[in-house]
Amino acid sequence: MLDALPHPSDDAPASRRWLLAAAVFVAALAAIGTWIALRVVDGERQRDLRSLELRMGLVADGRAAAVADWVTRQREAIRGLSENQTLQLYLTELAAAAGDRAQVADEQSQAAYVRNLMIVAAERSGFVPARGATTVNANVPRPGGAGVAVLDPGLRLLMSSHDLPAIEGRLRAVAEAARRAPAFDVVAGAGGRVLLVAAAAVAPVQGDAGASVGVVLGVRDVDAELYRLLDRPPVAERSAESVLLRRAGDALEFLSPQRDGTQPFGRRVDAAMAGLAEAQALAAPGGFAVARDIRDVDVVLVSRAVAGTDWILLHKIDRAEALGEVDGRLWRLLLVLVLGVGLLALLLVAVWRHGASRRARRAADRLGDLARRYESQSRLLRLVTDNQAAEIFIVDANGRLRFANRGLAARFSSQPGELEGKRLTAVFGPALARRYETANRAALARNAPQSFIERTDADGQLRLTRAEHVPLSGTDEPAVLVVEEDITAAIVEREKRERILQQVVDALVRVVDRRDPFAANHSARVAAVARSVAEELDLPVETIETTEIAGRLMNLGKALVPESLLTREGQLTADEHQRVREALQGGVELLGGIEFGGPVVETLRQAQERWDGAGPRRLEGEAILMPARIVAAANAFVAMVSARAHRPGVDIDAALATLMAEAARAFDRRVVAALVNVIENRGGRSRFTTPVR
């Protein structure tokens, strides 16, 4: 009987084997858990780096595009001047006369016109010295500044808008290169200045298309106007810095100031220096890296090539600031995961000893709770979306519908559940499905909502729809929420209101024209001239529309002036002039209750102001609305060239001369320059000679 009982020593090997198996299991679990934790941390790091790369890339893209646009404007200003027909004719005649000005017909008038043209072009495009501007004739000493110059075929200076440096060195090299194609460069000037040099050849009026009769050369300071673009859009990181680089032989040049105080062209390094952040940016523009920069500081960097130049924009942030918080968070995450793995191993051993059935029951309870919560959230989502007028649905990256509300299902006379799981092509058809898939890919690629307005005309019925494509984060797989609504009624109503407003404006203008036959169509001509000037200044569409409407309503107050004053052939007295001015202001107040799309009423109130502040309300300079400045100049121009009961109209040249004489006193210089350009180079001389109907 005793032999049949187990001996304590017989259980010792089994106990040891169980403990060994448990130890191996726990060790394996810990090793696997640690490996998984490391993979999770590495995955989080890669996601953080990708997010940082995206954010820095967006900033670099915006700044590089802004710099490229600035460069293009400078080049286009010089190229546009080189293509001026008057300049081409003058230089062609001068070249035919072998440079003898005495043999050129009406040479003094032509030269004066070309010089004025250069001055206007230089002031509009920024090719002027930092302090003041002087007109310089050829063959006189120059202290060196900025401006626009015309060179003869031998690259000798004929005339310039302002003081220029001597045409030698890099300036002469750029002028030489311009004979073949428009040229551009940035060079270090005297006194620490940085100069932008742009040149374009002037083609002869007739003859060899590849020949040239001269060169237009522009020189200006590369000042804060360019360098401010390197700080836009602003970023939150204090150590963030964007600089412009280029290769100069085997060296790397810095074209912009640096945060440590180094000025442009103040530092050159070997372009092949291994591991240097700036050298990496120059070697592989468009890349993203973590490297050590010229300050011997670790940085995170992105680089972008600046279109139309050999420049590279480097955007960098000190690694300690860019990734310090990320590194700390990931280390904490790794520690939590490792501790969690250890605790989980111990918990598994303890739970295992309590039996598999109990664990299964608890798991089942948890799953049931999650299922109930999921069902509750699904019902809430369905309740909210089904009560919206818009069509709402979710599409995964494979083009399958994962959710559809009742509005979309009603469109196809089906139930929401019948659409879910189907491909977009099966639901909407190939053409419409492609439109949705293209918008969804754009939303996922940019990780930002995309908006589209679609205009369709089915069976003679106009339909406008607006669709919002919103990328969803936190889901198991990429997906896009699409919200589409019909906006036809709203758009039609808005267009109707705009037509009614235009009809009201036309009716008011006709009332004024009937009362003053000598000024008939005056308002229409002011509106046409004002709109052309606003477009020449490249103003926003809303500002252009405001300017045109204000021009049409400029003389509404004449409806309050007795007809005897409007049609009198003699000069008005001072009191009568005052009555007319008060009536014009009274006409403005009649419009106070009309809702315009822009500040039309305030523009009319300010239209009698002067640039120097001598107007009735004492507004001065930039304090005057831009539409009001334009309407004031346009009204003065039309009034001068139009005949009145008491005087004939003056010719266009005399009117322009009067406006230019009053620039910077009565009128904005930029507005006058734009008006002159419209008349001389945009066909305004013929358009505005004939009254506008």
DSSP characters for 185-220?
A: EEEE-GGG-EEEEEEEEEPPSSS-TT--SEEEEEEE
- List, in order, residues 6 or more apart from 343 with CB less than 8 Å away: none
The two tokens of residue 646 are: 């008491």
Q: What share of the chain is helix, strand, coil (3-state, %, to 5)?
A: 55, 15, 30
Residue 169 DSSP code: T
pLDDT at 595: 74
As a whole number, mean pLDDT of residues 524-531 equals 90
Closest CA relative to residue 578, chosen from 561, 592, 590: 561
Return the minimum-mean-pLDDT range out of 259-268, 499-508, 608-617: 499-508
| Rg value, the chain, Cα | 37
As a whole number, mean pLDDT of residues 495-517 equals 63
Q: Is the pLDDT score of 670 beyond 80?
A: yes
Q: For residue 314, what pLDDT band results from cuts at 50, 70 and 90?
A: very high
Q: Is the pLDDT score of 242 beyond 80?
A: yes
As a whole number, mean pLDDT of residues 660-681 equals 93
pLDDT over 70 for what percent of the chain?
78
Report the Cα–Cα distance between both ends of the chain, in Å, rounded: 129
Q: For residue 2, what pLDDT band results from cuts at 50, 70 and 90?
A: very low
Q: Is the pLDDT score of 11 beyond 60?
A: no
Q: Is the pLDDT score of 104 beyond 90?
A: no
pLDDT at 677: 93
pLDDT at 139: 46
Q: Using alpha carbons only, give the angle 41, 47, 49 rounded to the nearest 5 degrees.
A: 100
| 380-486 CATH pick, 3.40.640.10, 3.40.50.1580, 3.30.450.20, 3.40.50.720 | 3.30.450.20
pLDDT at 410: 78
As a whole number, mean pLDDT of residues 43-62 equals 88
- List, in order, residues 6 or more apart from 153 with CB less than 8 Å away: 95, 212, 213, 214
The two tokens of residue 55 are: 């954010």
The two tokens of residue 101 are: 């000005």
348/441 Cα distance (integer angstroms) = 44
246/283 Cα distance (integer angstroms) = 10
pLDDT at 691: 47
Write the pLDDT tens digit of every residue in 549-590. Answer: 888 887 776 655 665 555 555 566 666 666 666 666 666 767
Is there a shared CATH topology between the 83-226 domain and the 380-486 domain? yes
Neighbour tally for 281: CB within 10 Å: 27
- List, in order, residues 6 or more apart from 347 with CB less than 8 Å away: none
Pick the most confident of 121-125, 411-415, 533-537: 533-537
**DSSP-derived 3-state class of residue 157:** strand
pLDDT at 424: 85
The pLDDT mean for the chain works out to 81
Return the minimum-mean-pLDDT range out of 64-78, 489-503, 606-620: 489-503
Is 321 in contact with 304 (CB distance < 8 Å)? no
Write the pLDDT tens digit of every residue in 579-599. Answer: 666 666 666 767 766 778 788
Q: Is the pLDDT score of 494 beyond 70?
A: no
Q: Is the pLDDT score of 70 beyond 80?
A: yes
**DSSP-derived 3-state class of residue 615:** coil
- List, in order, residues 6 or more apart from 232 with CB less than 8 Å away: 62, 63, 66
Return the minimum-mean-pLDDT range out of 136-145, 343-352, 620-629, 663-672: 136-145
Work out whether strand 183-188 and strand 312-318 pair parallel, antiparallel, or are unpaired.
unpaired
601/593 Cα distance (integer angstroms) = 10
Q: Is the pLDDT score of 132 beyond 50?
A: no
Model confidence, pTM: 0.45
Q: Is the pLDDT score of 257 beyond 80?
A: yes
CA 128 to chain centroid: 25
Domain boundaries, the chain: 83-226, 380-486, 492-687
pLDDT at 489: 66
Q: For residue 492, what pLDDT band results from cuts at 50, 70 and 90?
A: low
pLDDT at 1: 35
pLDDT at 569: 59
As a whole number, mean pLDDT of residues 48-63 equals 90
Pick the most confident of 13-17, 147-151, 167-171: 147-151
Domain 83-226, CATH homologous superfamily name and number: PAS domain (3.30.450.20)
pLDDT at 42: 79
Q: Is the pLDDT score of 629 beyond 70?
A: yes
Closest CA relative to residue 218, chosen from 71, 88, 359, 355: 71
As a whole number, mean pLDDT of residues 59-65 equals 93
**DSSP-derived 3-state class of residue 639:** helix
Is 81 in contact with 118 (CB distance < 8 Å)? yes
Q: For residue 352, what pLDDT band results from cuts at 50, 70 and 90?
A: low
Q: For residue 679, what pLDDT band results from cuts at 50, 70 and 90?
A: very high
CATH class of 492-687: mainly alpha
Is 392 in contact with 385 (CB distance < 8 Å)? yes
